[in-house]
Amino acid sequence: MTESARVVRAPVAGRAVGLAAVPDQVFAQAMVGPGTAIDPARGPGEAVAPVDGRLVKLHPHAFVVVDPAGRGVLVHLGVDTVELRGEGFELLAAEGDEVTAGRPLVRWDPAAVESGGRSPICPVVALDAEPDRLAHLVESGQVVTGDELFTWM
């Protein structure tokens, strides 16, 4: 791995499904960037930082961490969860915080999202990256929080 390569880790535990399985065309067609997605384990849990860096955007349903090289990783907790206006989500950090990979950022319950008629699938996206810049992309199988999802070259 080169010095500028960045390992992006699973922010939640569950089953890797790949972006094509996300029931939202913006993510499924990688319009905001390439990456993968996780169908999270059901029940209350925490979403953690996928990389070391600065938490530049933090909403109850999504966050972006920018690594020291300036690359942003978006984690979206479920699909259409912006419509919940924060209900069922608890922020555990603040925008602007310096975070390390694995630090809990949002507490949420994927089962509650699903019971409300929304998909709890979590896209993990390398913002504005070229698809050929990602390696070792995990798009199937079980993952635990902190597992490598892909390497951003």
Handedness of CA 61, 67, 72, 74 (dihedral sign): negative
Please determine, for residue 1, whether its predicted confidence score (pLDDT) is greater than 80. no
Active site residue 61: no
- Which residues have C-beta within 8 Å of that of residue 83, sequence separation ≥ 6? 118
Amino acid identity at 59: H
pTM: 0.96
61 neighbors 82 (Cβ within 8 angstroms): yes
Query: Could you report the per-residue pLDDT of 21-63, keeping only the tens digit for each?
Result: 999 999 999 999 999 999 999 999 999 999 999 999 999 999 9
From residue 7, give the alpha-carbon distance in Å to each of 52, 138, 150: 10, 12, 6
Of 59, 61, 76, 136, which is the active-site residue? 76
CA–CA separation, 8 vs 146, rounded Å? 9
Provide the residue ranges of all domains of the chain, joining segments of one domain with +: 13-133
Please determine, for residue 15, whether its predicted confidence score (pLDDT) is greater than 70. yes
150 neighbors 36 (Cβ within 8 angstroms): yes
Q: What is the mean pLDDT of residues 114-138?
A: 96
66 neighbors 56 (Cβ within 8 angstroms): yes
Confidence of residue 3 (pLDDT cuts 50, 70, 90): low
Q: Tokens 């961490």 label which residue?
A: 65
Token reading at 95: 């925008």
Name the DSSP letter for residue 36.
E
Average pLDDT, the chain: 96
Query: Could you report the per-residue pLDDT of 143-153, keeping only the tens digit for each?
Result: 999 999 999 99
Query: Could you report the per-residue pLDDT of 100-115, keeping only the tens digit for each?
Result: 999 999 999 999 999 9
pLDDT score of 4: 76
* Domain covering 13-133 assigned CATH 2.60.40.10 in the classification: no
Please determine, for residue 2, whether its predicted confidence score (pLDDT) is greater than 50. no
